[in-house]
Structure 1
Amino acid sequence: MNKSKNCLAIAALLFAASAPVLAGNWEICDLQVEVRDKQTDRHQLQTRVIESQAQAQAECPQAGTALSFRPETVDYQSELPRRQWPKPGTTVTVRYRYLDGECKDRGPCRIQHYSPVLR
């Protein structure tokens, strides 16, 4: 029985090694943004990029770009409560992460996350 289990394990490893990789790498940008407004009708933070710094080959928004997003926790698992959103007129660092891939029923898409960085 040990031989059959070993053969199954080896076969599974070979199959996994030959399977195409579906996930990519997260690209990361650290952005300095000025908070413009909290939109109550769309529940998004309105910002303008002051400075951007790419990690590796990330495509970062350039200075002057307007961004609208819902701020998320540092671990990107949930949205920050609105009372914790940065106030209009403040400048904050935001970690922007994205992953390009194929989305079900939509084709090519970009998954994006924005999280204020506390320093």
Structure 2
Amino acid sequence: MSTNKRKVWLAAAMLCAISAPAMAANWEICELKVEVRDKQTVRHALQARVLESQAKGQAECPQAGTALSFRPETVDYQSELPRRQWPKPGTTVKVRYRYLDGLCKDRGACRIQHYSPVLN
């Protein structure tokens, strides 16, 4: 391939890459007030029932009365809270629920979810 053809091909490829639409989504956030029902040891999950739910923007939030099962995470969503820091059964806590809808490798459409107790 001649030098001029390479330059034209490279310029066309760069133009296509630059003009491709960005496919980014926003995290949707819900502020929940939940009553902790149980700590499951087998599944290592917290069982809770939603008492109050407040959406930030257009978020789809669980409604009052909904049962949830989740692993509590740190405020920055980078790791799971140590079990000794999990809220105890019978307590009422605020939880920030954050999700992102997208495409997951080898699974297609999926929802990435995070639950972070707001511990004061």
**Fold conserved between structures, TM > 0.5:** yes
Taking a change above 3 Å as real, the CA distance of residues 14 and 56 of structure 1, as seen in their structure-2 partners, is: farther
Instruction: Kindly report the root-mean-square deviation, in angstroms, between the aligned alpha carbons of the 2 structures.
Output: 1.9
Taking a change above 3 Å as real, the CA distance of residues 73 and 16 of structure 1, as seen in their structure-2 partners, is: farther
Mapped to 1, the partners of 2:17 and 2:56 lie a distance apart of: 30
Mapped to 1, the partners of 2:119 and 2:18 lie a distance apart of: 40
Taking a change above 3 Å as real, the CA distance of residues 20 and 46 of structure 1, as seen in their structure-2 partners, is: same
Residue of structure 1 in register with 2:34 after alignment: 33
The C-alpha deviation readout for 1:51-94, integer Å capped at 9, x for no partner, is 00000000000000000000000000000000000000000000
SS of the equivalent of 1:83 reads: helix
> How far has the Cα of 1:14 moved from its partner?
5.9
Identity level (%): 83
Mapped to 1, the partners of 2:52 and 2:78 lie a distance apart of: 26
Mapped to 2, the partners of 1:50 and 1:108 lie a distance apart of: 29
Structure number with greater Rg is 2
Residue of structure 1 in register with 2:109 after alignment: 108
AA partner of residue 48 (structure 2): T
> How far has the Cα of 1:106 moved from its partner?
0.5
Number of matched pairs: 110
Alignment of 1:9-20 (within 5 A): 17-20=18-21
TM-score by length of 2: 0.85
**Which runs of 5 or more residues in structure 2 are unaligned?**
1-11
Residue of structure 2 in register with 1:5 after alignment: none
**Which runs of 5 or more residues in structure 1 are unaligned?**
1-10
